[in-house]
Amino acid sequence: MSYLVINGGKKLHGCIPNQTAKNSAVALLCACAMIKKPVTLVDVPEIEEVKRIIELLKSIGIKIEWQAKGKLLVDSSAPLKLANIDKIASEKTRSSLLLLGALASRVPKYKLYKSGGCKLGERTVKPHLFALEKFGVSVESTECFYEITNKPLRPAYVVMYESGDTPTENAIMAAVQAPGVSVIKMASSNYMVQDLCYFLIKAGAKIKGVGTTTLTITGVKNLKSVKNYPIIPDPIVAMTFLAAGIVTKSKVVIANCPLEFLELELCKLEKMNQQFVIKNKRLSKNHKFTIVDIEILPSKLVALPDKIYGRPFPGLNIDNLPLFVPILTQAVGRTLVHDWAYENRSVYLLDLLKLGAKITLLDPHRVWVEGPTKFTPNEIIAPPALRPAVNILVAMLAAPGRSILRNPYEIDRGYEDLYMVLNKAGSDIKIIKE
pLDDT tens track for 162-194:
999 999 999 999 999 999 999 999 999 999 999
pLDDT, one tens digit per residue, over 193-228 is 999 999 999 999 999 999 999 999 999 999 999 999
In sign, the C-alpha dihedral spanning 57, 345, 232, 239 is: negative
Mean pLDDT of the chain: 94
**Mean per-residue pLDDT, 365-384:** 95
Least confident of 21-35, 50-64, 339-353: 339-353
Average pLDDT over residues 350-354: 95
Provide CB contacts within 8 A for 4, sequence distance 6+: 393, 404, 405, 406, 408, 419, 429, 430, 431, 432
Q: How far apart are CA 76 and CA 61, in angstroms?
A: 8
List all residues 6 or more positions away from 287 whose beta carbon is below 8 Å from its beta carbon.
Answer: none
Rounded to an integer, what distance in angstroms lies between the CA atom of residue 227 and that of residue 152? Answer: 29
Distance CA 29, CA 76 (A): 10
Q: What angle do CA 9, 14, 20 make, to 5 degrees?
A: 100
pLDDT of residue 289: 98
Rounded distance, CA 424 to CA 427, Å?
7
Percent of the chain, pLDDT > 90? 86
Give 261-311 pLDDT, tens digit per residue: 999 999 999 999 999 999 999 999 999 999 999 999 999 999 999 999 999
For residue range 36-56, list pLDDT tens digits in order. Answer: 999 999 999 999 999 999 999
- Chain centroid to CA 389: 14
The pLDDT, as a whole number, for residue 116 is 57
Question: What pLDDT shows up at residue 91?
Answer: 79
Q: Count how many Cα atoms sit within 13 Å of the Cα of residue 394 in the half-sphere of its side chain.
A: 32
Q: For 369-375, what is the mean pLDDT?
A: 95
Q: Compute the distance between CA of residue 296 and CA of residue 351 in angstroms, rounded to an integer.
A: 26
For residue 184, give the nearest of 106, 260, 128, 126 by alpha carbon. Answer: 128
Burial of 301 (0-12, 13-18, 19+ CB in 10 A): buried
Mean pLDDT score, 108-137: 78
Question: Which whole number is the average pLDDT over 365-378?
Answer: 95
Mean pLDDT of 10-17: 98
Residue 92 CA to residue 384 CA, distance in Å, equals: 12
CA separation for the pair 337, 335 (Å, rounded): 6
Give the chain's length.
434
Alpha carbons 50 and 30: distance in angstroms, whole number: 10
How far apart CA 21 and CA 45 sit, in angstroms, is 7
pLDDT tens by residue, 239-257: 999 999 999 999 999 999 9
Whether 2-19+233-433 and 22-230 share one fold: the answer is yes
Average pLDDT of the segment spanning 119-134: 75
Extract the runs of DSSP E, i.e. beta strands, from 180-330. Answer: 181-185, 206-208, 214-218, 226-230, 252-258, 275-283, 290-297, 301-302, 308-309
Name, in order, each residue with C-beta under 8 angstroms of 124's C-beta and a sequence gap of 6 or more: none
Can you tell me the mean pLDDT for 26-37?
A: 97
Cβ count within 10 A of residue 361: 14
What order of strands is seen across the sheet that includes strand 2-8?
379-381, 401-406, 2-8, 429-433
pLDDT score for 103: 96
Q: Which CATH superfamily is domain 22-230 in?
A: Enolpyruvate transferase domain (3.65.10.10)
Correct CATH for 2-19+233-433 of 3.40.50.2300, 2.60.120.460, 3.65.10.10, 3.20.20.80 = 3.65.10.10
Torsion angle, alpha carbons of 123, 391, 232, 86, to 10: -50
Q: Where are the domains of the chain?
A: 2-19+233-433, 22-230
pLDDT at 142: 83
Distance between CA 139 and CA 327 in Å, rounded?
42
Predicted local confidence at residue 249, as pLDDT: 97
Confidence tier at 122 by pLDDT (50, 70, 90): very low
Helix (H) / strand (E) containing 7: strand 2-8
Average confidence (pLDDT) over 24-43: 97
Q: How many CB atoms sit inside 10 A of residue 170's CB?
A: 28
In the chain, the N- to C-terminal Cα span, in Å, equals 6
Q: Is the pLDDT of residue 119 over 50?
A: no
CA distance 424 to 257: 19
By CB atoms closer than 10 A (0-12, 13-18, 19+), residue 78 is exposed
Sign, Cα dihedral of 70, 73, 79, 84:
negative
Spatial distance between the Cα atoms of 101 and 168, rounded to a whole number of angstroms: 10
Residue 415 DSSP SS3: coil
Residue 117 has pLDDT above 60, yes or no: no
